[in-house]
């Protein structure tokens, strides 16, 4: 068992810098496309044998130091009773948006094993196969709430902020319900065998620091606090969160994820004894190979003072990235950091 990634999460010394890539299983891999050719995305998420197969694909092809469970952050929102569909090219759609008390009352706090047993089954199957640690995950309450309120992806987040500012009690009520669901869901993943848990806060970067502190951070703290007895390392990734980094320290996470909009040296200075994960611009994978290696070398040099460092992209890998470019980056991290 290769435990380099686990050690880095705990801030322990490692022989080399471990690497994985957010959204590493997905459409940029032809072997993923092949599996997806015959089945809808939601059906794929609910078929453990296929989830195992696509989880393993990037680990095998690219030699990643960690695997991430194949699922989606919106699966537990569906289990709460919000009807979810994925439309090709348009992404997720919730038909019944949550914008009033009646909508909120209709949401349930589901039993994770009873409603999302396929996720826990995927975890149990993966643990038999994997030689690297398995990351379980969930969306952070704020990011999940945006999908329920907007009815899908959004550019302006008008409805979300409108609810926050004009119906704060309703907004907090929704956040409380999502938090209870997410905590139980992550506890179930831990029980099934997940070895690290990552919380994805993809859209929280739209908030002013004061609103992050009031409307989003307390719920992340509740989840991480509630996971303490699992003793698993927790990663909190606030996308577009450079301006929220000082507050994110208070999340209680062991590892903070960084996007690419911050210099990693600045981040190290600011976070003290937390481990860091990131922060290559996903589009930098398109650099010519020599330039890509040079950029990775600079990042590794800058990160030597971190209290634990995991190489990753600053956000998910883009669907048109050539897999060979991703492989070149993984190999460079391993070679240049002394593996
Ligand atoms: O067409 C397809 O095959 C579906 C594409 C796809 C995939 C591969 C979606 C739809 N989700 C996923 C898997 C997924 N999603 C993983 C599995 C692990 C992996 O790929 O390695 C993970 C961790 C996620 C997490 C996720 N889903 C996030 C958080 C991370 C991030 O990228 O910010 C978010 C925001 C989603 C929502 C989502 N899922 C899928 C789409 C198209 C979207 C919408 C994104 C948006 O609103 O712009």
**Domain boundary assignment for the chain:** 4-336
- How many other CB atoms are there within 10 angstroms of residue 95's CB atom? 10
Catalytic residue chosen out of the listed positions 10, 16, 36, 211: 36
- pLDDT by residue, tens only, the chain of 339 residues: 999 999 999 999 999 999 999 999 999 999 999 999 989 999 999 999 999 999 999 999 999 999 999 999 999 999 999 999 999 888 999 999 999 999 999 999 999 999 999 999 999 999 999 999 999 999 999 999 999 999 999 999 999 999 999 999 999 999 999 999 999 999 999 999 999 999 999 999 999 999 999 999 999 999 999 999 999 999 999 999 999 999 999 999 999 999 999 999 999 999 989 999 999 999 999 999 999 999 999 999 999 999 999 999 999 999 999 999 999 999 999 999 987
* Helix, strand, coil percentages for the chain (3-state, nearest 5): 55, 15, 35
Measured by CA distance, the residue closest to atom 3 of ligand 1 is 41
Residue 282: what pLDDT?
98
Nearest residue by C-alpha to atom 40 in ligand 1: 91
Ligand 1 centroid distance, CA of 89 (Å) = 12
Q: Which atom of ligand 1 is nearest to the CA of 44?
A: 3
Of all protein residues, the one whose alpha carbon is nearest to atom 13 of ligand 1 is 72
147 included as an active-site residue: yes
* 173 CB neighbour count, 10 Å cutoff: 16
How far is it, in rounded angstroms, from Cα 262 to Cα 155? 22
The closest residue, in CA terms, to atom 10 on ligand 1 is 91
Residue 127 a catalytic site member: no
pLDDT value, residue 333: 98
Ligand 1 centroid to residue 152 C-alpha, Å: 12
Of 264, 256, 304, 301, nearest to 280 by C-alpha is 264
Ligand 1 mean position, distance from CA 338 (Å): 32
| pLDDT number for residue 272 | 86
Q: Which atom of ligand 1 is nearest to the CA of 198?
A: 23
In angstroms, the CA 291 to CA 120 distance is 41
Say if ligand 1 is within 6 A of residue 70 CB. yes
43 CB near ligand 1 (under 6 Å):
no
Q: Would you state the structure tokens that stand for residue 67, as one six-digit string?
A: 């695997």
Residue among 32, 45, 73 to mutate when testing ligand 1 (max atoms within 8 A of CB): 73
Distance 72 CA to ligand 1 centre (A): 6
* Tokens 């302006």 found at: 156
With a 6 Å cutoff on the Cβ, whether 318 touches ligand 1 is: no
Task: Look at residue 239 and give its three-state secondary structure.
Answer: coil
Confirm or reject CATH 3.40.50.2300 for domain 4-336, answering yes or no: no
Ligand 1 and 142: CB distance under 6 A: no
- pLDDT score for 90: 84
Q: What is the pLDDT of residue 160?
A: 98
Concatenating the DSSP letter of every residue in 220-233 gives HHHHHHHTGGG---
Is residue 27 part of the annotated active site? The answer reads: yes
pTM for this entry: 0.97
Q: Is 150 in the pocket of ligand 1 (CB under 6 A)?
A: no
On the question of a cis peptide bond just before residue 279, with omega within 30 degrees of 0, the verdict is yes
Whether residue 94 has its Cβ less than 6 Å from ligand 1: no
72 is catalytic: yes
For the Cβ of 92 lying below 6 angstroms from any atom of ligand 1, the answer is yes
Q: Evaluate whether 317 touches 22 at the Cβ level (below 8 Å).
A: yes
Q: CB burial class (10 A; 0-12, 13-18, 19+) of residue 136?
A: buried
Q: Identify the DSSP state of 136.
A: E
């Amino acid at each position: 068992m290769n435990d380099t990634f686990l050690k880095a999460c705990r801030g322990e010394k490692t022989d080399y810098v471990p690497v994985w890539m957010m959204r590493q299983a997905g459409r940029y891999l032809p072997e993923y496309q092949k599996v997806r050719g015959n089945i809808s995305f939601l059906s794929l998420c609910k078929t453990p044998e296929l989830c195992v197969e696509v989880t393993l694909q990037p680990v095998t092809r690219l030699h990643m130091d960690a695997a991430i469970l194949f699922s989606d952050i919106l699966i537990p929102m569906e289990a709460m009773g919000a009807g979810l569909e994925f439309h090709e090219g348009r992404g997720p759609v919730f038909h019944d948006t949550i914008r009033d008390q009646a909508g909120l009352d209709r949401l349930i706090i589901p039993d994770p094993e009873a409603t999302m047993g396929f996720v826990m089954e995927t975890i149990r199957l993966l643990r038999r196969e994997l030689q690297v640690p398995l990351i379980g995950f969930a969306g952070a309450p704020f990011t999940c709430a945006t999908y329920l309120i907007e009815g899908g992806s959004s550019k302006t987040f008008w409805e979300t902020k409108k609810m926050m500012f004009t119906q704060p009690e309703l907004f907090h009520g929704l956040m409380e319900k999502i938090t209870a669901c997410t905590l139980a869901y992550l506890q179930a993943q831990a029980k099934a065998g997940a070895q690290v848990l990552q919380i994805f806060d993809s859209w929280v970067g739209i908030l002013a620091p004061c609103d992050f502190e009031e409307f989003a951070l307390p719920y992340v703290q509740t989840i991480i606090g509630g996971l303490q007895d699992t003793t698993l390392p927790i990663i909190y990734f606030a996308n577009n969160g450079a301006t929220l980094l000082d507050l994110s320290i208070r999340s209680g996470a062991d590892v903070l994820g960084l996007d690419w909009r911050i210099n990693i040296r600045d981040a190290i200075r600011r976070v003290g004894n937390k481990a860091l994960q990131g922060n290559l611009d996903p589009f930098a994978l398109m650099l010519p190979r020599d330039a890509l290696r040079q950029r990775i070398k600079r990042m590794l040099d800058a990160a030597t003072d971190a209290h634990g460092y995991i190489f990753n992209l600053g956000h998910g890998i883009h669907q048109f990235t050539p897999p060979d470019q991703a492989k070149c980056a993984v190999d460079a991290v391993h070679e240049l950091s002394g593996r």
